[in-house]
Amino acid sequence: MTLISTSLGSVGIFVSREVTGPGGNHMFGIEYLNLRRSDWPENWPETCKGKKQSPINIDDSEVKINKNLRDIKFVNYDKVLNNPVLVNNGHSVKLDIEDDSNVPKIQDGGLKAEYKFQQLHFHWGSENTTGSEHTLNNKIYPMEMHLVHYNSKYEKDEAHNYEDGLAVLAVFIKIDANDNNAFSAFSQNLKFVYGNDSYDISSSDLTLQALLPKDSLYYRYQGSLTTPPCNETVIWTVFANPVTIGIEQIKEFRNESLDDLVNNFRPIQNLNDRTVEKSYNSGIQQLPQVVIVLASFVVVGSW
């Protein structure tokens, strides 16, 4: 069910609607927002006390290289998002879209199903030394972005109940002196969602591709939602290399009007008996397909 009301704004359209879907506050209401994170296991003992909780620290010296973890196939990631809406849900700032024939999807890369994009959201700190949920070799980034996808064989509101229900891409974000144009769609419009509001940013012509790191190297492990009910139904893909956000852009996220959202990261959880895998990168540049075809023709013709 979707409830929509609009009023024109200078850049986009204010939108109020009932938002559902995994990620952010994970569609289970906001009852946990008034609880300390240390109280989550007590209130959700069957899930938040699990052995496959997220986030984790990734120790690159301990990971296992998996030659079956090749490049992820990004479908429609280069397409402008359909009716993207910026939402302050009381825990994070997230971006919802409406489903259409061009909904972004991910395939391959060790995934055994097709996963449809549902939403993305951010975790960030009040200082440069805190912010990310995952850490890499104990390094903390000032920000982390999660792109949440659900298995297309399930209904989006039910996918979190299945072991292979969700696939989340985690992107570390570091600070740079220069703005990142891809994040302008967020930083320039945060002022419109200070009060748990929603704001249509369709005019930004945003694509998901612009938000991803250029290097496709990634880590993979089985984990959980990082907020209650902490379901252990997430296939995590954590990119090894960060993207950047400008100094002035991250200041917008740290604006005092968003104080209730800042430092919205969960502490590192125990890895327990899980194995973190790393994607395979042979270091060999793949030849363009046309060159391969021509080379094959020459070889065949010489027989």
Residue in the block written with tokens 């979707």: 2
Q: Which two tokens stand for residue 84?
A: 């993207």
Look up residue 2 and give its two tokens.
């979707």
Q: Which two tokens stand for residue 147?
A: 């792109």
Residue 89's contacts (CB-CB under 8 Å, 6 or more residues apart) are: 19, 24, 25, 30, 196
Contact (Cβ atoms closer than 8 angstroms) between residue 229 and residue 285: no
Q: Which two tokens stand for residue 240?
A: 């090894």
Beta-bridge partner residues of 219: 238, 278
Q: Which residues contact 266 (CB under 8 A, 6 or more apart)?
A: 37, 54, 55, 133, 226, 227
Among residues 26, 91, 121, 146, the one annotated as catalytic is 91
Q: Is 134 among the residues known to form the active site?
A: no
Question: Rounded CA gap, 303 and 295, in Å?
Answer: 13
* Phi, psi (rounded to 5 degrees) for 133: -85, -55
Q: Report the SS3 class of residue 261.
A: coil
Supply the residues annotated as catalytic.
Answer: 91
